[in-house]
Every structure is written in structure tokens, then in C-alpha cells.
Structure 1
Amino acid sequence: SGNLVTNASWKDIWLNEGFTTYVQGRITEALYGQEMAEMEREIDQNDLLAEVKDMSPADQALALPPLSERDPDEALSQVAYVKGSWFLQFLEQRFGRETFDPFLRGWFDDHAFQSANTDQFVEYLKKNLLSKKPGAVTDAELKAWLDEPGIPSFATKARSRNFSIVDTARIAWQGSNTLPNAQITGEWGTQEWVHFIDGLGKTLPVEKLAALDKAYHFTGTANGEIAMRWYPLTIRSGYSEANEAAGAFIERVGRRKLILPIYAELVKTPEGLAFAKAAFAKAKPGYHPITTGSVQDMLDKAEAGTAKP
């Protein structure tokens, strides 16, 4: 789905990534059920809502302004992936799958092995979907998705039933220091643990992190989705017992999504910056050039900041 219809320019990258993320969600639903797909959508949407808080308004639009001399990597974010997918889910909800699915298949069939831009998609959308049910989507709603920052206020947010159980267990532990019953957590997969950690807040007392670690062995995990959330939390909280494992993780793993949040927390202190530079020196030979550039840029900016009077 990503490259069957290829974005004509980098400012239209959502036509690749948003469609692919949407299709991935439909495949997840078909293979593993509606609840699994809903959990993944809720995690993605929460991550996006957190990310856009620190983004320029222009970078939050699906149809990006011309990038001119700007490096496309600087504008690439979860907006293309998650907001793009969320927009397609919105269309699916407004028209129903019996109408939306033939439209989606038609888009692929009619544009296969071609490049396309957002204007072409809008033209095709109006002709082949919006016309099927006039008034179902207004011009203002379409503009809000494509051209305006953030997520439209009328967007329907994913809501997982399983996450309500996770929230209850987390709140109970935070109030009583009694860890969730093993009969409950024994059924949890990656998605539930990700949601559990995401809800712990920016920092936790070291003793609480140690209790969680002793019970669930987050430090040293081979699960990248858990690691990218656990290690930033431990770094912010001063839980130094996880530092060695965090370093080993960013030396072993090269995917930007998984390691940049860890580097971002490390570079906030002089000690962390030194640690990050040492880990990067070991990891650099195995990183993809784009990953190398992203990490190097983060380190350079952090070092420049510490050098200011």
C-alpha cells in the first residue's frame, strides 16, 4: 500500500505512510481481532497527541507546505503515519466499510505504480466517495484534516476495553503500592504493558521503579516498544540501575523510533550527554545513515546548549 501509489513529493508523504498505517490496522483486526487493533490505534493516537505539543503548526498538517531547501527528514513525524491513518478511519466511519472499501481499492487500482499528490487525492475523494453521500463530510472538516494543525475536535478517538482494566490496575498500585494481581498481568501483552508504562507519569520515585522492575523485569527487555518507554522514564527519575541496559539497547538497536526517545532524555544532563556520546560512538558503525544523522544532530545541539554561558 505504501509504494503501490507513491507520494509525488515529500510534502505528500502521508499518502504513503498514512495509507499503510491504516491498512496495517485492518490487517491486525483481521488476524487478531477488533480489540487488538483498537489497542494499537489508541497507543498510536496517544503518542501522536503528545508529539504534536512540541511541533510547529505547519508540520502538523497532513498536506505539508513546500519543504523548499529543508531536509524532508526534519518534517517527517508521526503525523504522516497516525494522523493520515486517523483521517482514513474518519472517512470509513462516516461512510461505512461497504462504501469506503471499494473507494480505497479503486484508489489503488486507478493509481497503481504512479505518483500522486494530495490535490489528486482530494479530487478523487470528492468524485468517488464524498459524492456517494452528500453532506457526510463538509469542506471545513476536510480542510481540518488536511491543512490545519493538530487533530480535529470532531475526530473519534480509539477506546480499548482492555485498557480500562490496565488503568484500574495502575491506579490501584499507585494508591496502595500493591502490585497488580499476577492473574491479571499474566494475560497482558505488549500493548497492555505499553499503556501501563505510558500512564505512570513523567517520573516515579526510585523505589517504585525498583518494585516494578523486580516484578516485571522491564530493564533488559528485548521488547523495543516497552524499552523506548521504560528507559526514558528511568532516566528522568534517576533510576541508575537501568542505565547500563539502556546503553546496551541503543547500541544494539538502530530504529529511530525506538532509540531517539532514550537519547532525548540522556542529553538533558551533562552526565547523560557524556553517556549518550559514548554509546553512540560504539553504535554508530551499525546504524543506518539516517539514524546516525538524527542522533548526531541531537548530540550536537545538546552540546552546543551546554556550552552557552
Structure 2
Amino acid sequence: MKNILASFGQEYDYKNILRHPGVSILLNEQKDTEDICKRLDEVVIKFRDSSDINIKQAIRDLDNWISKEISRSDENERQKIANGFGRFFDVRAGVAYNTLSIAEKEQSGKIIHSGYLNQFSEIAQVVGKHDERNKNILIKSVLDNLRKEDEKIEQAKFYRDLGKTVETIFVSLTGSNAKVEDNGQDFLLMTPLLEIGIRLEIKSRSKNGNYVLMTKKQVEMAVSCTEKYILCVFPDISNSSSDNFKHKARFVLDIKELLNDRYYETEDFITRNFYENDGQNILIEFENYSYKYKIKKSIWQRIDNTKVLTFTEFEEFILTQLK
């Protein structure tokens, strides 16, 4: 509380207001601590409408201090705190809110009207139970997870938009009823005009641009499907427009053949080393048997290769497949 008191600044002469023998002694003496709370209560109420940023911060600090003390106190201690800050205690939420800037108030309003105020409150209660060091760890963890989920949502939105773009392109090109599957990343082109259906898997590059990832399910589809399976690498996830897709997309026609041996080698290795069977006393285990296939950029950057096409070349390829 001494630090909070000091935050109010000399221009308000808080030292005169609080000038009594108790200020200079340790705060663990109950009588003087309660007296300081009452004096501080007077200061906060007096300057509650101040526009001084230091005063505003001091009010927020006091509000946070009270909240922290309440969260770790029993009923008797909470009542003592309420008595100590007789006037400020009941109105502190509103007083603290009024110290926020217009932008901060708008953000608070968005949170309140979002309908998730209870969830935010629960997060705050969990974080508030810990000391400052652990608070920072928890807050960082929450923010990191929010960013990850935000990236997933943004990525899903991108693929939905891209799905609409690509579907429009293919319907215009073939006149088919191109069907979007798997959140806009997997396309199946079926039309009586095609001798064989075409299944197109669209992937964006990794952050460093060196590879794309395919799940086990996607690779299983690639090696087992009866349609012509084509991997499309679209390296720019910032722009799902038709022109950008046509300019930057690359189509790998032989991905099924490239994956085939690798897939069966991997499945054989997993069967022999991960599952219980006779003759194996030491096995390998990892959570949920989760793994993906990493397709390096050398696959779609092959030069002068008839198996890797630009969009214009892929368009010609489609047209040659039409009866």
C-alpha cells in the first residue's frame, strides 16, 4: 500500500493527509494498517475523477490489490478489508472503470457484449489465485493458446474462401458439379465429360516455405482412391483471390506415385514397431500415433518437369481429359 500511496504524487499533498505516526512503522500492525486504509479511502474518493494518468493508475493498482487480498482471505478478513475501505470498496468497480481510456472502455464493452464475460471472469479468478511470477506464466499460456486458436480460425476461413474461388474456377472450366469437401481443401471433379474423376488436394506451405504437410488420412486417400489424385500447392495464404491462385498455384500430377512406396514402408514400420505382436518385447509409442507426411518444396519446384504444372498448364491438362 505504501507504493500505491506514493503513486498519488506530491501535488496532492497526500503525505499531509496521512501524516501520523503509523505511516513510518511496519504495516503488519493491525491498528495502523486499518488507519492507512481509511486514509487511503479518503484520497481515492477525493481524486476519483482526476485526469492525471498517475492517479488513474494508482486507483487501478488499489483496486487490483483489494481484489487480490479478497481472493486469498477468509470471510472475516474480507470484512475487515471492506470496513477499511468503507466508501471505495462498494464503488471500486465503477471508479476503476472510469480510469480507463476511451479505447479501453470500448474494448471492455466488446468483451461484456460478447456474451463470454463469465468465461473471462473464470480465467481471471484462476490467474488471480497465484503469485506474480505464476500469473505471468498463466497469462502467457492463455494468450499463446488464444493466438493458436485464432490462427486456426483464420486458416479455416482462408480455406473456405479459397474453396469458393477454386470451385468457381473449375465449374467454369469443365461445366461440372465440382464438389467441395474437407473445409474447402479437398475437391472432387466429376463429370461425364471426364474419362476419370479428378481429386485435388490443396495445401499451403509451412511458415518457412520449405514443405507442406499431409495427414495419414490424406495420404491413404492419395494412394487408394480410384480418381486421378493431384496435389496443389498454393504458397500464399494471405490472398485467396482467383487471380492470385491462378498465378501462384502449382499442381503435382505424380504425387500418388511418389507417396505410394513411402506410405507402405511407413505402415509396415509402424505395424512392426508400435503394435503388440509376437517377438517384439520393446515397442515404440507416441501419443495417439500422430504423424504427418512432410512434402518438401523440391517436389513442386521441379524445373522443366511435365509432372508439375502451372495453372495455365493444368487448365490445358483438364481440357485434354475431356472427351
Q: Greater helix share, 1 or 2?
A: 1
Larger radius of gyration: 2
* Same fold, TM-score > 0.5, yes or no: no
Q: TM-score w.r.t. structure 1 length? A: 0.24
Of Structure 1 and Structure 2, the greater strand share is in 2
Higher relative contact order (CA 8 A, sep 6+): 1
Q: TM-score of the superposition, structure 2-length normalised?
A: 0.23
